[in-house]
Structure 1
Amino acid sequence: MALTATGLGSGLDINNIVKVLVDAEKLPKEALFNRTEKDIESKISALGTLKSDIAKFQDALAKLQDPDSLNARSVSTGESKFLTATADKFATTGNYAITVEQLAKAHKVAGTHVTDPKQTVGEGSLDLEVNGKAFSVDIAADDDLYAIARKVNDHADNSGVTATIITSDSGSRLVFSSNESGSDSQVAVTATDTTGTGLNDMFGGANLETLQVAQNAVLTIDGQKVTSQTNEIKDAIQGVTLNLTAADVNETTTLSITSDKDAVKDNVKGFVDAYNALTSSIDKLSAYDMEKEEAAALQGDSMVRSLESQLRSMVSSRIETADGGSIALYDIGIKVDRNGKMEIDDTKLDANIANNMEGLEALFATPDTGLANRLDNLAEGYVKTGGLIDSKDTSLDSDKQRLDDQREVFARKMTMLESRLMKQFNAMDLLVGQLNAQSAGLADKLNSLPGVLG
């Protein structure tokens, strides 16, 4: 193996000299690359934080975009096992005495028992009807109960019947159930045989047994009788939906509906807190530390400045009301201080919640023009897929890729520089070595001349 040594001729540390020369050009550029990469990564991270904070702001806005959330009702049925209830903003506050006398039930009929559900029944058709809508199922000679049930359930024109095989101590039988409760949804079955009497023997006339009578729900509300095809009763009390779960004519449930002012205030406070959190995040991400002379990742970013400007403009605007007037946050007790943060005047807000719910709804939840809707549209433009933040991220990713390409090109350039310098210094070293050798030889010859003293 050939051995290569540098600096033997000149006595210079060529490796170190080359390293110093290469580093003199390489290190400043690499430091610039590193600073640029750190800046890009800081911006990407900051945009992720901003996007998350905007999404949290949208969560708070969602509770004010729905008019029902600004007219929340608290519903209580005590520990009743007979019903549950929900109420929307149109429900009138008050107490109601409710007695559930009867639950709505779906009609069920069944054919005769057989010892084996896999035995065939007959050949012909079954005509089924529910609430005036009929369909017909063809029965083949080799169809057992399973096949008949499958044909009924899968029929394209099935008008609301479910066929089920029930196996008990008495044997197996096919049960037809209405998919809807109430007296209007009774199941009618007509059997027609083309061969023999098998279908009629199982489903015809008296052979079809009623397992459950179709019945309506019956209840009284403050002594007034209400009949329903289902156990879900809507608007028997304005804005209220009742779901009946059990019946007892001797038991009365007290339904209490009150205005849930605390929930409304919590939603408004949630909006204020989320707005302040978002603006604080923007301040932090775009700040400049005078003492440390350090800029935050998004300091001076035009997108962030635009977002901040639009937010401030919107929260200071007035919203037109249906009566031709207008309302703003200040009118309900929310003001914006000199630092851009919201503050709540609890007394003023409580008064508006108690007496001006229409104004609150107009301010926040009016379609298109309501403050919560406008702010949400603004926020969505930033956080949606392909939105402003995504576009910024894409641009930064491109910058990072270009930086990686520049690093690669520069690294090749430094490798070539190092190789070139090594060749040049080695050539110089070789020449110096040769000159030194010639000088030493010449000195020896001069010293050997007559008359030259040693």
Structure 2
Amino acid sequence: MSSVSFSGLATGLDTGSIISQLVELKRAPIYRLQKDKKSYQDQISSLATLKTKLLAVQTAARKLDTASEFSSAKATSSLAEALTATASGSAAPGQYDIFVKTLATAQKLQSQAYASKQDNIGAGTLSVTVGGETKSLTLVGVNTLEGLAGIINDNFEGVSASVINTGAATDPYRLVVNGSEAGTANAFTLDLSGLSGGVVPTMTTLSTAENATLTVDGIDVIATSNNPTDVISGLTLNLLEASATQKITISVARDTDGISAKVKGMVDAYNDLYTYLDKQTAAEGSLRGNSAARTVDSRITSLISSSLDGGLGAISRLSEMGITRGEDGTLEFDDAEFKEVPRRAVRQRARLLHQPRRQRRQGLPAGPGHQEHDQQHRGPVQDLHRLAEQAHQVHGRQHQPL
């Protein structure tokens, strides 16, 4: 459509241009709203990303929020196909010579042979006793061998039943009842004497419930399962094969690689968050002026920088672990330096981890004296966990009105 112009009149005005400018003037509020809408949408998207990065910091820090996690250990076996071990942070470094004499076994019973798993086994009362506790159940009507297995599974704890097809030319089916766990404490009694009116199963023993036996550094030990947690302090053993003449050495050492990976994960998560906040709160960032973003930025940054006062804060302690702050504000991690920490009484530092938190729970004032005490008794892992606390405190702020 061609534009209308009165420029040929005596006025000499370019009325087409004037009208276009007036229309644009009227549209200005719409343009502002559209711009504001996009700005809000950008902020919502950026805050969602911020939440994800905060949670990443929180998750990484929580992997280091207890003394046992920070001083975790690793156990290795000289014969992993026969014995393995898992170490907790309380496991003492050293070596243990172990002979696995016998494995713990679960009780197992079998019935006589049946021609069909649908054979009638009768009706009446059956009972199962496990750990000194007896439970009875009354069966009525016609009950099959397969049905009895299902009844045992559905109604009795500590045992399981199945019908086995042996493949024999005649009478291939047998009822087999197993104890759920190995060890003498899990022995059971199955009483079917109260059944009648069919071919009642007669149970015989395939295996008895027995404890495991082993020697640890020449000491005879009885274990109630094949996964004992109380034989060696801080270790869970996994007994796989028995051999009275095969010596197996379990070696326990500080898991410096595992701890290092956790600390590096914490540093990486912090740097990712710090870099993102720095970009998004800048003049051209989508979160410039946003109160939630400012709060996060302030808290996370102050956690690192404010503790420098007096040389007793986070960076002083963290630097001893190979963590320093770069010129751009991000953290740098020296793996080699960090791995020297376990040789420098890491347990003494770990004992300091929760002292400030206990004081806060006891309601002590957070005045200057308390802050000084907090700095003097805050270990590196406590500082890392405080990052997670900051993340948790601002977790829901992205839903505030923009």
TM-score (norm 2): 0.79
Q: Is the 8 A contact 1:110 1:175 kept in 2?
A: yes
Measure the CA separation in 2 of the matches of 1:84 and 1:346. 28
Measure the CA separation in 1 of the matches of 2:254 and 2:263. 15
Output one character per residue of 1:235-276: Cα deviation in whole Å (capped at 9) or x when no partner: 311100001112222322211111122333333333233323
One of 388, 392, 395 as aligned partner of 2:397? 388
User: Which residue of the partner structure matches residue 284 of structure 1?
Assistant: 279
User: Which residue of the partner structure matches residue 191 of structure 1?
Assistant: 192
User: Which residue of the partner structure matches residue 164 of structure 2?
Assistant: 166
Deviation of 1:332 (Å): 4.3
One of 209, 212, 215 as aligned partner of 1:214? 209
Deviation of 1:115 (Å): 0.8
Deviation of 1:81 (Å): 0.7
Question: CA separation of 1:171/1:20 partners in 2, compared to 1, >3 Å: closer, same or farther?
Answer: same
Deviation of 1:284 (Å): 1.0
How many residues of Structure 1 are paired with residues of Structure 2 in the alignment? 364
- Which letter maps to 1:210? T
Measure the CA separation in 2 of the matches of 1:374 and 1:332. 13
Question: CA separation of 1:46/1:223 partners in 2, compared to 1, >3 Å: closer, same or farther?
Answer: same
Deviation of 1:88 (Å): 0.7
Residue 345 (structure 2) pairs with residue 356 (structure 1): yes
Output one character per residue of 1:83-106: Cα deviation in whole Å (capped at 9) or x when no partner: 221001111111112221211111
Deviation of 1:143 (Å): 0.9
What pairs with 1:31-180 in structure 2 (closer than 5 Å)?
31-155=31-155, 158-168=156-166, 169=168, 170-180=171-181
SS in 2 for 1:40: helix
Measure the CA separation in 1 of the matches of 2:223 and 2:266. 41
- Which letter maps to 2:303? M
Output one character per residue of 1:398-427: Cα deviation in whole Å (capped at 9) or x when no partner: xxxxxxxxxxxxxxxxxxxxxxxxxxxxxx
Q: Is the 8 A contact 2:260 2:335 kept in 1?
A: no
User: Which residue of the partner structure matches residue 231 of structure 1?
Assistant: 226
SS in 2 for 1:106: coil
Question: CA separation of 1:244/1:209 partners in 2, compared to 1, >3 Å: closer, same or farther?
Answer: same
Q: Is the 8 A contact 2:98 2:214 kept in 1?
A: yes
Deviation of 1:340 (Å): 3.8
Deviation of 1:355 (Å): 1.4
Deviation of 1:31 (Å): 3.5
Gaps spanning 5+ residues in structure 1: where? 289-294, 319-325, 397-454
Measure the CA separation in 1 of the matches of 2:96 and 2:316. 38
One of 262, 287, 304 as aligned partner of 1:298? 287
Greater alpha carbon shift after TM alignment, 350-359 vs 166-175: 350-359
SS in 1 for 2:95: strand
Greater alpha carbon shift after TM alignment, 254-263 vs 48-57: 48-57
Question: CA separation of 1:195/1:287 partners in 2, compared to 1, >3 Å: closer, same or farther?
Answer: closer
Question: CA separation of 1:317/1:146 partners in 2, compared to 1, >3 Å: closer, same or farther?
Answer: farther
Measure the CA separation in 2 of the matches of 1:136 and 1:362. 52
User: Which residue of the partner structure matches residue 374 of structure 2?
Assistant: none
Measure the CA separation in 1 of the matches of 2:79 and 2:19. 85
- Which letter maps to 2:65? Q
Deviation of 1:345 (Å): 7.2
One of 316, 330, 342 as aligned partner of 2:316? 330
SS in 2 for 1:296: coil
The structure with more helix, counted as a fraction of residues = 1
Measure the CA separation in 1 of the matches of 2:21 and 2:129. 96
Q: Sequence identity, in percent?
A: 29
Measure the CA separation in 1 of the matches of 2:39 and 2:260. 42
Greater alpha carbon shift after TM alignment, 142-151 vs 57-66: 57-66
Q: Is the 8 A contact 2:127 2:192 kept in 1?
A: yes
Measure the CA separation in 2 of the matches of 1:358 and 1:329. 19
Greater alpha carbon shift after TM alignment, 254-263 vs 230-239: 254-263
Question: CA separation of 1:190/1:45 partners in 2, compared to 1, >3 Å: closer, same or farther?
Answer: closer
- Which letter maps to 2:388? D
Question: CA separation of 1:148/1:71 partners in 2, compared to 1, >3 Å: closer, same or farther?
Answer: same
Measure the CA separation in 1 of the matches of 2:37 and 2:279. 21
User: Which residue of the partner structure matches residue 441 of structure 1?
Assistant: none
What is the CA RMSD across the aligned residues, in angstroms?
Answer: 3.3
Q: Is the 8 A contact 2:99 2:243 kept in 1?
A: yes
Deviation of 1:309 (Å): 2.1
Measure the CA separation in 2 of the matches of 1:55 and 1:227. 45
What pairs with 1:237-386 in structure 2 (closer than 5 Å)?
237-288=232-283, 295-316=284-305, 328-333=314-319, 334-336=323-325, 340-343=329-332, 349-362=338-351, 368=357, 370-383=382-395
Question: CA separation of 1:301/1:193 partners in 2, compared to 1, >3 Å: closer, same or farther?
Answer: closer
Measure the CA separation in 1 of the matches of 2:301 and 2:353. 16
- Which letter maps to 1:227? I
User: Which residue of the partner structure matches residue 427 of structure 1?
Assistant: none
Gaps spanning 5+ residues in structure 2: where? 10-14, 359-381
SS in 2 for 1:180: coil
Question: CA separation of 1:128/1:302 partners in 2, compared to 1, >3 Å: closer, same or farther?
Answer: closer
